[in-house]
Structure 1
């Protein structure tokens, strides 16, 4: 029997169609076996289309998918309809108040963040790697939600599967790009290196920005190869490519 798509849901977003997906339940083969949704993974395009179809069907059946061309920026956009691949804006977060649209963020170690203000009927999804989070993509997402009528003190934000601190070794040059008040997100590692807490850093940025509630799943993409794709793990294994997973949120029609 074929494995079904695994949908990881967060209590903080209950009542809103959403899901953090991994690699289970897809049709891709080889080193990206499973539910690979990344078009840059040297995967069969037909398999990617089927995986994306399965992902949307598991979270918000019948919805139109909208994704962005992710560039590790601080840019967020308002989405009013589904977006085909050749229509994707270069951005790293999406906000919508339109029913029937599944906002999809692709990750492979970076932190996916799903947002909702159920009272206002506004949802958002952001790709928060360290560069995007450092640059302000989370704050930009909350600002855009407010522009549509949300109130940030009502917004629930959930951080999905991402590389954990124990798996995320960085050097002095990386650490030097952060402000002194962010030193708590770096634990000592081997000589000249540190372990960076991406989820903790993302959580702190969201809390400083005034999000009403912030939570994280605490799931490490690097350490769980059966469940998640990981760019860093694939690099350490000298694999020729790596898969990407979806995090989806939308409003029911």
Structure 2
């Protein structure tokens, strides 16, 4: 499920075959120290020129110029936007949709779910940042609805969840469980007992449930855990546990 382009490692999903896409790992980047690798997060405290260099490398792997690699200012919302050109200023949202050839749309993550979508027949693609808050508030459904406004049919949409924190590494408190069960009692199935009165939450499992409930044709998780594999992935939670001052961000992108 993975391929290497130049010195970069790019994970792909067979569900999105025929559409150029990739979940970039941290391998092959220019950042150093705690950011070692392909840190594409402009919101990190990494050197801005190094982050820009990493983004240029990713854009080149996608066959576009750096100016055509589009991201948004992510705010853990349920807002999806359609772009047909680079925006004049950053947009606050958590999903991008396009049907414009030559544009690569992308999201940044470090434990949250990056989800890439495609309706190949309609020529409509999307990229969403779905942490627990965005997923609970409806970012998946908002993305599918925005794709439909651009001409997609949800019954043809394929979606892939990229590297995310796995259930074994995602410990949460009882108030977290209550929040999800208040929204839907059936959400209890995404939690198992952990240590000391805590629970372990299955974020990718919950993401797949929301995708399937939204009516997409097929969906999968690549089954890569960001927390467990420090050599390939950045992880916010791992950085906290290690007492590190900051963390890198992984890029996940798709283009027509």
Scaled to the shorter chain, the TM-score interval is: over 0.9
Once residues 9 and 97 of structure 1 are traced to their aligned partners in structure 2, the CA distance between those partners, rounded to angstroms, is 20
Aligned residue in 2 for 1:190 = 195
Aligned residue in 2 for 1:50 = 53
> Which residues of structure 2 form unaligned runs of 5+?
1-5
Normalised TM-score (structure 2): 0.94
Once residues 180 and 121 of structure 1 are traced to their aligned partners in structure 2, the CA distance between those partners, rounded to angstroms, is 37
Cα distance per residue 1:152-187 (max 9 Å; x no partner):
010000000000000000000111111211011001
Once residues 21 and 126 of structure 2 are traced to their aligned partners in structure 1, the CA distance between those partners, rounded to angstroms, is 10
Please state how far the C-alpha of 1:82 moved relative to its aligned partner. Answer: 2.4
Cα distance per residue 1:126-170 (max 9 Å; x no partner):
000000000000000000101111000100000000000000000
Any conservation in 2 of the 1:185–1:200 contact (CA below 8 Å)? yes
Aligned residue in 2 for 1:71 = 75
Aligned residue in 1 for 2:116 = 114
Once residues 197 and 82 of structure 2 are traced to their aligned partners in structure 1, the CA distance between those partners, rounded to angstroms, is 42
Once residues 238 and 60 of structure 1 are traced to their aligned partners in structure 2, the CA distance between those partners, rounded to angstroms, is 37
Aligned residue in 2 for 1:23 = 26
Task: Show the 5 A alignment for 1:1-253.
Answer: 4-62=7-65, 64-83=68-87, 87-178=89-180, 179-251=184-256
Q: Which runs of 4+ in 1 moved over 2 A?
A: 59-63
Normalised TM-score (structure 1): 0.95
Once residues 8 and 83 of structure 1 are traced to their aligned partners in structure 2, the CA distance between those partners, rounded to angstroms, is 27
Query: Any idea what SS the aligned residue of 1:6 has?
Result: strand
Greater Cα shift, 181-190 or 62-71: 62-71
Please state how far the C-alpha of 1:83 moved relative to its aligned partner. Answer: 3.9
Any conservation in 2 of the 1:146–1:152 contact (CA below 8 Å)? yes
Any conservation in 2 of the 1:96–1:124 contact (CA below 8 Å)? yes
> Which residues of structure 1 form unaligned runs of 5+?
none
Please state how far the C-alpha of 1:57 moved relative to its aligned partner. Answer: 1.2
Once residues 236 and 168 of structure 1 are traced to their aligned partners in structure 2, the CA distance between those partners, rounded to angstroms, is 12
| Number of equivalent positions | 247
Any conservation in 2 of the 1:65–1:83 contact (CA below 8 Å)? no
Any conservation in 2 of the 1:31–1:239 contact (CA below 8 Å)? yes
Once residues 82 and 49 of structure 1 are traced to their aligned partners in structure 2, the CA distance between those partners, rounded to angstroms, is 16
RMSD: 1.1
